[in-house]
């Protein structure tokens, strides 16, 4: 299998335990645990919390990214499957809501905090659905420097057995479950899941509620793709819809619109020094290697990403209140 190395500017991880982990990531190459190990340890120590979303859909939190669950007389359908160290706690949470077996699982993308439970899901006999691009990523060895970890190829028996290249609809638990591929956005293989009767949209990491998301350039993600995904998410929901984001609390359409507001706002960062500095740091962390030189020139700085504290950058970006303004500035700098 191919080996892919993530450049240092390829990832910015945000949200919950991610913040404290990244704050210490500069120590990851010494004798302390890597960010990957720390995140796994946090998941191992965290309880799994179940919250109702509506219409038979609930959310499980505490194992990396958010997990969506549709509960019905036929059993269970799960969206994302968390980190393997949480397996028994996830299974206990699932049994607490339904004694039936897990019938289907959908992976929104390849990142391990959403997809690494694929092995136990397959062993439980569930059909595992993912985009063809996600299956390809899971089949590769991928080095992510920010996490201090090389992800080994997933064994064939644990890979998704239902690869998608187009939209798919499942009729399950009295609902119409619509699985749609996004354009290249957070990665090159993101999926959304819309529970039509429940009016619940699960977005994966194309939407982080209240946090500036990161973009996986190594796996084909792009800033313009994230903007397009934000537009698509708003288009898919109505005024009373509930949204399960990749990270963060249950959201409303208003939360999605706040992320999409870049369309109606003129660029502001150039006029506000604090925002301009945040833009510069975020660009340096996010820009693909072949655009780094242009980024530094546009930001009126030759400083590289070395020494930038991702925790501080993320806190500053979150402090803006409207992350889409930063999206607009990045897009305008192309």
Task: Categorize the per-residue pLDDT at 290 as very low, low, confident or very high, splitting at 50, 70 and 90.
Answer: very low
Of 236 and 10, the one with more pLDDT: 236
Neighbour tally for 196: CB within 10 Å: 14
Of 329 and 16, the one with more pLDDT: 329
Task: Categorize the per-residue pLDDT at 321 as very low, low, confident or very high, splitting at 50, 70 and 90.
Answer: very low
Measure the CA–CA gap between 9 and 308, rounded to whole angstroms: 10
Q: pLDDT tens for residues 119-128?
A: 999 999 999 9
Task: Categorize the per-residue pLDDT at 299 as very low, low, confident or very high, splitting at 50, 70 and 90.
Answer: very low
pLDDT computed for residue 172 by the predictor: 96
Q: pLDDT tens for residues 131-148?
A: 999 999 999 998 876 677
Give the CATH architecture of domain 3-263.
Answer: 4-Layer Sandwich (3.60)
pLDDT at 289 over 50: no
Instruction: Find the range with the poorest average confidence among 24-38, 192-206, 238-252.
Output: 24-38
Task: Categorize the per-residue pLDDT at 331 as very low, low, confident or very high, splitting at 50, 70 and 90.
Answer: very low
Q: pLDDT tens for residues 7-45?
A: 223 333 334 344 334 433 433 344 568 878 988 999 999
Neighbour tally for 64: CB within 10 Å: 30
CB-side neighbour CA atoms (13 Å) of 260: 15
pLDDT at 330 over 90: no
Helices assigned H by DSSP within 244-322: 253-260, 273-286, 292-298, 310-320
Please name which of 105, 51, 54 lies closest in space to residue 82, comparing C-alpha atoms. 105
Domain positions in the chain: 3-263, 269-332
The residue with tokens 């704050």 is: 23
Measure the CA–CA gap between 288 and 286, rounded to whole angstroms: 7
């Amino acid at each position: 299998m191919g080996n892919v190395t993530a450049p240092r500017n390829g990832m910015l991880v945000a949200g919950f335990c991610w913040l404290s982990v990244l704050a210490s990531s500069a120590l990851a190459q010494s004798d302390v645990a890597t960010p990957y190990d720390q995140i796994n340890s946090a998941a191992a120590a965290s309880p799994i919390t179940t919250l109702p979303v509506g219409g038979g859909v609930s959310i499980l939190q505490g194992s990396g990214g958010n997990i969506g669950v549709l509960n019905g007389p036929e059993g269970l359908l799960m969206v994302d499957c968390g980190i393997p160290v949480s397996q028994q706690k996830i299974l206990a949470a699932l049994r607490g809501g339904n004694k039936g077996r897990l019938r289907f699982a959908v992976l929104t993308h390849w990142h391990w905090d959403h997809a690494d439970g694929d092995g136990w899901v397959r062993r439980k006999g569930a059909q595992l659905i993912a985009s063809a691009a996600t299956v390809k990523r899971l089949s590769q060895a991928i080095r992510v420097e920010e996490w201090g970890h090389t992800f080994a190829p997933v064994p064939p028996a644990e890979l998704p057995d239902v690869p998608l290249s187009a939209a798919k609809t499942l009729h399950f638990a009295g609902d119409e479950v619509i699985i749609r591929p996004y354009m290249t956005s957070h990665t090159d293989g993101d999926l959304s899941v819309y529970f039509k009767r429940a009016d619940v949209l699960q977005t994966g990491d194309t939407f982080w509620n209240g946090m500036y998301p990161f973009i996986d350039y190594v796996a084909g993600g792009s800033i313009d793709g994230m903007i397009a995904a934000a537009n698509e998410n708003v288009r898919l929901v109505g005024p009373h819809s509930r949204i399960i984001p990749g990270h963060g609390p249950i959201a409303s359409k208003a939360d999605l619109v706040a992320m999409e507001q870049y369309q109606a706002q003129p660029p502001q960062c150039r006029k506000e020094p604090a925002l301009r500095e945040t833009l510069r740091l975020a660009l340096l962390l996010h820009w693909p290697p072949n655009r780094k030189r242009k980024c530094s020139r546009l930001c009126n700085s030759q400083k590289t990403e070395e020494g930038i504290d991702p925790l501080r950058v993320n806190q500053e970006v979150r402090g803006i209140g409207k992350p889409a303004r930063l999206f607009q500035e990045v897009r305008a700098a192309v």
